[in-house]
Amino acid sequence: MQWGWDGDGGGFARARRQHAGLPVPIKVPPGGEHADFRANSGGPLAVKPWRMLSLDRLAWEAHVEACGLDQPPPRHIRSWIYRQIVDKPPLKVFLCSPRSFCAGVVRAIDTVERALALYGPPVYVRHEIVHNRYVVEGLKAKGAVFVEDLDEIPDTKAPVVFSAHGVPRSVPAEAARRGFFALDATCPLVTKVHREAEIHFRRGREIMLIGHAGHPEVVGTMGQLPANAVHLIETIADAEAFVPKDPQKLAYVTQTTLSIDDAAGIVAVIKARFPNIVGPHKADICYATTNRQEAVKRVAPVVEAMIVVGAPNSSNSQRLKEVAERAGCPYAALVQRSSEIDWSKFGSIQTLAITAGASAPEVLVEEIIDAFAARYAISVETVSAIGEDVFFPLPRPLRDIEAAE
């Protein structure tokens, strides 16, 4: 092994995070005085930063022998390595667990990818399959075509996928009228809320839906029933002002991605006003939302800042940021990529928490950690709220094809 350019720029950060007792690959900056070393080898540049106490030649030679390197690095490379490792301020990073994809998101993405594998492109998807630009762009590159309305889709035999957030009844009805091969990737936990609302309606109950106006899930839930059958309640003030037709015939359901505490406050007001109101047999806020918020609550009081990886139109990601702030974190930021980090907000912090919304892939968490590792000497600890092992099968048409294979 020789000293030279390591093409894997993220290897250094990953190895430091893992605290491995093995050589750590480092990316030497391109150009200038290091060009000759890159040209003379393609092998990785390796050091053990937690064991490197000095730059004296004897120490380096001992390290070189231990790592199986051919020769120690020249002094200017030693100095650069030392600056990269030793001169960085320390930063303790708490990784919240669980984080990133939930079972419903995995099912939705797998639905599009499986349809592409079986039928080839194009596969049409109504609305973003999940609220994450990285995921959407990745599926576009594979041949998915995203639209906001079925009117944008030409007459076709290609699959048409409904997003994880659910759709009003009018959408599958229109798809059937036009003869589309529709695949419903609605999260089963959202479908559960749809079925609850339908049952309440059939039993003559007026329905209160706790949620956020305009969110696709709320639009889909309200669209399961005739106009004015469902009343949207966004705030405690809405709950206090609502006047039902018959206080004895009331029910409520909720959006699955709400803040647990916000929803609890609204439900408390509703139950105090209408003691006989009928609620869900099991909480509508989904397990993934609950678990990710619980993990954030555990670390928020003990860190100086928190990064939530997620999209601004992701309800569950926005709620994580709000939960962090309310739980005592001095500064919380919602970012989609490392390029969005405002480094002036972090300065000389010594503790940081990182989590990700249920629609944000883990690769973006890795990217954020790499960005901090480039500026800080990081150590990482995982804070777990609860384990997750939930799995949802693909839509039945895709399962039937798999069974036939």
- Does one domain contain both 53 and 31? yes
- Does one domain contain both 164 and 193? no
- Does one domain contain both 332 and 349? yes
CA 294 to chain centre: 15
Whole-prediction pTM: 0.79
- Does one domain contain both 195 and 182? no
Asked if the structure places residue 153 within a domain, the reply is yes
Q: How far apart are CA 56 and CA 78, in angstroms?
A: 10
Asked if the structure places residue 281 within a domain, the reply is no
Tokens of 389: 């092992």
- Does one domain contain both 225 and 296? no
Residue 72 domain boundaries? 11-87
- Does one domain contain both 177 and 209? no
Asked if the structure places residue 41 within a domain, the reply is yes
Give pLDDT, residue 56. 45
Number of domains in the chain: 4
Asked if the structure places residue 365 within a domain, the reply is yes
Q: How far apart are CA 316 and CA 212, in angstroms?
A: 12
- Return the closest-CA partner of residue 126 out of 104, 111, 114, 106: 111
- Does one domain contain both 161 and 243? no
Place of tokens 């839906």: 209
Query: Using CA atoms in the order 352, 357, 362, 363, what is the torsion angle rounded to 10 degrees?
Result: -90
Asked if the structure places residue 2 within a domain, the reply is no
What angle do helix axes 287-299 and 260-273 make, rounded to 10 degrees? 110
Which residue is catalytic, options 128, 196, 206, 217? 217
Give pLDDT, residue 82. 54
**Per-residue burial over 252-271, b = 16 or more CB atoms within 10 Å of its CB, e = otherwise:** bbbbbbbbbebbeebbebbe
CATH of the domain at 314: 3.40.1010.20
Low-confidence ranges of the chain (pLDDT < 50): 1-58
Give pLDDT, residue 283. 86
Report, in angstroms and rounded to the nearest whole number, the Rg of the chain calculated over CA atoms. 26
Asked if the structure places residue 6 within a domain, the reply is no
Tokens of 269: 């007001």
The verdict on whether 322 is a catalytic residue reads: no
- Does one domain contain both 258 and 297? no
* 8 Å CB contact between 314 and 360: yes
